[in-house]
Amino acid sequence: MSAVSASAPPRQWRDGELAILLLLPIALINAIGFILPVLNLARYSFNRSRIGGGIETVFTWENWAGLLSDRFYLELVFNSVWISLAITLTTLIASYPIALYLHRASGAWRTFLTVLVISPLLTSAVVRTYGWIAILIDDGPVVSAIKAVGLPAPSLMFNIKGVFIGLTEILMPYMILALMAGFGRLDPRVEEAARTLGATPARTFTKVILPLTLPGIALGCLLCFVLAVSSFITPKLMGGGRVFLLATEIYDQAIVTLNWPLASTLSMLVLIVFGAALWAYSVVLRRLD
C-alpha cells in the first residue's frame, strides 16, 4: 500500500492514446499472422505453377481465368456454398431450442447444461469425426437399428449425408453460444406482456421472441457458415473422398498436386465468399436496428 502511495501519480492518458496502445499487440499479431499471409496468397494466385510444385514468379491471370471458365470449379464453389448454407440452417434449427432453454435456465442447472453444451469443443474435431464414423458406418449401431426395425438400410457414411450429420453436430456448440450471446434483448417480461395482451404462445414466438433473437440468429449463422465453408477434416474423413468441397480441394491442390497458385486462387475465392457473407450479415443487422 505504502509503496503505491509513495510512487508518482499515474500519468493521465489522453483519449485514444491508451486505446492505440492496447490495440497495438493484437494489431501486430494480426498483421504478421493474418494479413501478410493473405497478401502472400493473393500474390501466389497471380503466379504460374510449374510441374513438381515450383512457382514461376510472373504476373498472370491464368489461374483466375481457368477457374472461372471451368465448370468443375464453378460447381465446387456453388456446392460448397449451398451445402454450407443447408448445414447452417440445420444447425440453427437444432440449436435454437437448446439456446432458448439455456437462456431461460438459471443457477447451477444452467451452469451444468452450459458446460455440457461447450464440452464437445474440448475434444478435437478429428476425434469427434472418427466417433461419428464409428456410429454411422454401414454396420454401425444406427444402421443396424434402422435395419432391425425392418426399414431399408441407408448409407450414412462416406457420402454427403455423413458430412451433413457430422458437421451439424460439430457446429452446434458454436451456434448455441452465438445465439445465447445474441439473446440479450429477450426480456421475460416482454414475453409476458405479449401473453397478457392476448398472444398465444405460438404468436408470442413469431411476433416477439423470434424478432428479438434475430441478431443472435444472424451472428450464429455467419459464424457457422464460415466454419462450414472452411471445414476440412470432417468432409475429408466423412466424405470418403467422394464429397468435393472448396476446403478439401484446396488441400488436394496444395498438398497432393502441389499446385500452389491454384490452391491460392481457390483460397482467395473462399475469402470472397466470406466477404459476401459478412456483407450480408451487416445488411441484416442494419435492417434490424
Q: Find the binder of other proteins among 126, 145, 197, 278 (CB under 8 A).
A: 197
Cell of 98: 437448446
CB of 193 to other proteins, least distance (A): 4
Using CB under 8 A, which residues numbered 260 to 289 contact other proteins? 288
The answer to whether 102 and 110 have CB atoms below 8 angstroms apart is: yes
Interaction of residue 28 with other proteins, rule CB under 8 A: no
Q: Is 11 in the site for other proteins (CB under 8 A)?
A: no
**Binding segment toward other proteins, per CB under 8 A, in 30-38, 60-68, 160-168, 199-207:** 199-207
Q: Which range of residues in 31-39, 68-76, 121-129, 195-203 is near other proteins by CB under 8 A?
A: 195-203
Interaction of residue 193 with other proteins, rule CB under 8 A: yes
Q: How many CB atoms lie within 10 A of CB 251?
A: 17
Stretch that binds other proteins, among 50-58, 71-79, 196-204, 227-235 (CB under 8 A): 196-204
Contacts of 153 (CB under 8 A, 6+ apart): 138, 143, 146, 147
Our finding on whether 54 is near other proteins (CB under 8 A) is no
The answer to the question of residue 141 lying near other proteins (CB under 8 A) is no
Q: Check binding of 190 to other proteins (CB under 8 A).
A: yes
Closer Cβ to other proteins, 143 or 208, answer by number: 208
Residues in the chain: 289
Does 110 engage in binding with other proteins (CB under 8 A)? no
Asked if residue 50 binds other proteins (CB under 8 A), the reply is no
Which residue's CB is nearer to other proteins, number 169 or number 191? 191
C-alpha cell at 229: 465453408
| Rounded-to-integer distance, Cα 129 and Cα 228, Å | 14
What's at 133, amino acid-wise?
I
What is the C-alpha to C-alpha distance for residues 170 and 234, in angstroms, rounded to an integer? 9
Which DSSP string do the residues of 244-270 spell out, in sequence order? --HHHHHHIIIIIS--HHHHHHHHHHH
State the Cα–Cα distance between residues 140 and 136, nearest whole angstrom: 6
Alpha carbons 88 and 221: distance in angstroms, whole number = 6
- 200-229 mask for other proteins (x: CB under 8 A)? xx-x---xx--xx-----------------
In angstroms, give the least distance from the CB of 192 to other proteins: 5
Q: Which residues contact 34 (CB under 8 A, 6 or more apart)?
A: none
Residues contributing to the site for other proteins (CB under 8 A): 185, 187, 189-190, 192-201, 203, 207-208, 211-212, 288
